[in-house]
Structure 1
Amino acid sequence: MSLSELEVSSSEAKAEDEDFVLLDKSDMRTHLLRGRIECIDEGKGKYRMGHATRRRWHYLDIPILTHWKALTRFMLSDHNLSVERLRYLGRYRAAAPQDLQLCRFCCAAVEDEGYALLICTAHGSLELLWDAFLHEISDAVGGFEGKWTSGAYKFLKWLLSMPKIMLRLAKFVPAP
């Protein structure tokens, strides 16, 4: 490959990245994919965090089909949480503004992805599962004390960026 061909392919790749980012920003449903940063394996035990626009995202490599579908639908906002279902006009109801899209379990806050998976404690069994999940992954990622303080949504995006725990996280995401 000559230098001019390399420059052309590089500029095409940048244009594709820009197109993806523009497409991504125009769709409300892809907010978990926007600005996606993943842990990238550089070999020899070295890892770095980097943008994953043109990479094969590691959540697509989950071997259990039901978990793969659940996590993929979760990432693309094709789930049954109130933040998604109440956004649109229903057969017998109007679309609800976001501040009225309350959690169906506790009715204490807006039921978005971060709240439903990480904060809501209305079901004791889910809280026990979440505690077990946190203990299980803390060993795999080497602690996450500073990550949780930034809020549930940022913590969820951080969890989604870690390939080591993706299978465990997919098991925890509710299937539609």
Structure 2
Amino acid sequence: MIKPKQAALLSRRIGKLSLGFHAHRRYLERYGVPKALNELPDHRLIGFDRQLAYIRDILKERPDLVGIAFDFRADSNLVQLAAIRAGLGIGMCQHAIAAREPDLVEVLPGTLDIALETFVVMHENLKTVPRFRATFDALAAGIDAWIRFPRILAAPAAESGITL
């Protein structure tokens, strides 16, 4: 999620993974839907425990997110996604993942507006080794296809059958 800076690396920039705030519809039915960013502290929030390099980059672009206090913290994006799917609160999720899951609803659509640069990287000495080259090319093609998956904007909660 960060452009490689080391020499002797072969890298391919794939594109950007867009993120949004998402919650399971059960959570929103129970606790309501925030109408503005300043209402997020009134909700259970899911997020990171430590500021990894890509998170520091996000916070430089979005200083308004620096003070968000998370109720459920994990450095694993998979654990955060599992918590969102379980209805524990509102968290950041890739639009491409949420678009494939009808029970995940985007909260405050367009408010987060973050996209993570994505690269596939390997050491330049491996580019002529067939199995490494095949893996590199397959990863690049697969991630590229994932990113290009058309973003399906989640309907606002009121239009998604969530009653408050």
Could you say which structure has the larger radius of gyration? 1
Point out the structure with the larger strand share. 2
TM-score by structure 2 length? Answer: 0.26
* More relative contact order, 1 or 2 (CA 8 Å, 6+ apart): 2
TM-score by structure 1 length? Answer: 0.25
